[in-house]
């Protein structure tokens, strides 16, 4: 019996060792996390938010027009006057003019000549020698030393002095055109928006003009709203020294003209 056990032990010791298998863990998996999805309640509010933004944009454009027409329009009723567009004519020989206005369709309103397209023909004006530019300031509107060019036509580059009207300081009324846009885009240094807040001027506000080395101070006396065919606003009266500033109204539109008249104060 002992011999049998010994032989079995010898047999077992002669067998090769059983290999030990190690289990290799799988490599870690890398997955990109999915972005968090917004709650359905926020998605449902998106159309409402878009509608609110659109409404705000519409109101920002419409409100200045509504305010001007209902609350801010404090102009005097239109009047008629007589005179000729000839600032150097003999005052004793003045007479009224009459012109049949023409309605012009699509116009470029950056050109002053299109503002009153039916302005009547006038006699040739012989101007005294002197500068063809001067400056205009309106303290209330933060307009300082804006350039006014006599006889020019491009309102994107300067204010325009209508050629057939008096010079600053003369008997009559210099007529000055200025461009305007919606008041929220007002920039007193940009000639495309320089007269956008002209409707806010009130009686006794100052308009300061410097021409040929002389400073003239005018005081606002009235505001009037006229149609483009109301050419009488360009007429000259030689019993006083005034100035007229003209721009398009309501704000952002070109259907009417605002005329601000100021009278020269003593030098």
**Which residues are 243's β-sheet partners?**
262
Percent of the chain surpassing pLDDT 70: 54
Of residues 255, 261, 260, 259, the one with CA closest to residue 227: 255
CATH of the domain at 172: 2.40.260.10
Domain count, the chain: 1
Of residues 129, 191, 168, the one with CA closest to residue 262: 168
Does 146 fall in a domain?
A: yes
Does 254 fall in a domain?
A: yes
Q: Which domain holds residue 164?
A: 64-90+108-121+130-264
Does 96 fall in a domain?
A: no
Does 100 fall in a domain?
A: no
Does 242 fall in a domain?
A: yes
Q: What's the average model confidence in pLDDT over 199-214?
A: 96
Rounded to whole angstroms, the Cα distance separating 133 from 167 reads: 10
Could you tell me if 171 and 240 are in contact, meaning their C-beta atoms sit under 8 angstroms apart?
yes
- pLDDT tens digits, one per residue of 125-154: 445 567 899 999 999 999 999 999 998 889
Rounded to whole angstroms, the Cα distance separating 85 from 261 reads: 17
Does 9 fall in a domain?
A: no
Does 51 fall in a domain?
A: no
Percent of the chain surpassing pLDDT 90: 45
**Token pair listed for 192:** 């495309």
Does 161 fall in a domain?
A: yes
pLDDT at 51: 72
- pLDDT tens digits, one per residue of 157-194: 999 999 889 999 999 999 999 999 999 999 999 999 99
Could you tell me if 234 and 81 are in contact, meaning their C-beta atoms sit under 8 angstroms apart?
no
């Amino acid at each position: 019996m002992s011999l049998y056990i010994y032989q079995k032990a010898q047999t077992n010791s002669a067998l090769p060792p059983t290999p030990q298998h190690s289990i290799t863990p799988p490599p870690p998996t890398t997955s990109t996390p999915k972005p968090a999805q917004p709650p359905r309640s926020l998605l449902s509010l998106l159309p409402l938010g878009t509608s609110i933004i659109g409404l705000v944009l519409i109101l920002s454009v419409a409100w200045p027009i509504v305010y001007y027409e209902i609350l801010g329009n404090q102009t005097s009723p239109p009047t008629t006057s007589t005179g000729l567009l000839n600032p150097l004519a003999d005052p004793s020989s003045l007479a009224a003019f009459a012109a049949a206005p023409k309605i012009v369709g699509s116009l470029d309103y950056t050109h002053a000549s299109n503002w009153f397209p039916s302005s009547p023909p006038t006699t040739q004006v012989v101007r005294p020698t002197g500068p063809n530019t001067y400056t205009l300031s309106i303290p209330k509107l933060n307009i300082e030393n804006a350039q006014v060019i006599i006889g020019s036509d491009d309102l994107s580059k300067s204010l325009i002095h209508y050629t057939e009207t008096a010079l600053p300081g003369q008997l009559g009324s210099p007529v000055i055109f200025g461009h305007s846009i919606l008041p929220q885009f007002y920039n007193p240094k940009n000639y495309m928006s320089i007269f956008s807040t002209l409707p806010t001027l009130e009686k006794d506000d100052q308009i300061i003009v410097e021409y040929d080395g002389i400073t003239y101070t005018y005081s606002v006396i009235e505001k009037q709203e006229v149609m483009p065919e109301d050419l009488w606003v360009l007429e000259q009266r030689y019993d006083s020294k005034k100035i007229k500033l003209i721009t398009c109204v309501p704000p952002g539109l070109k259907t009417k003209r605002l005329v601000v008249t100021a009278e020269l104060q003593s030098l």
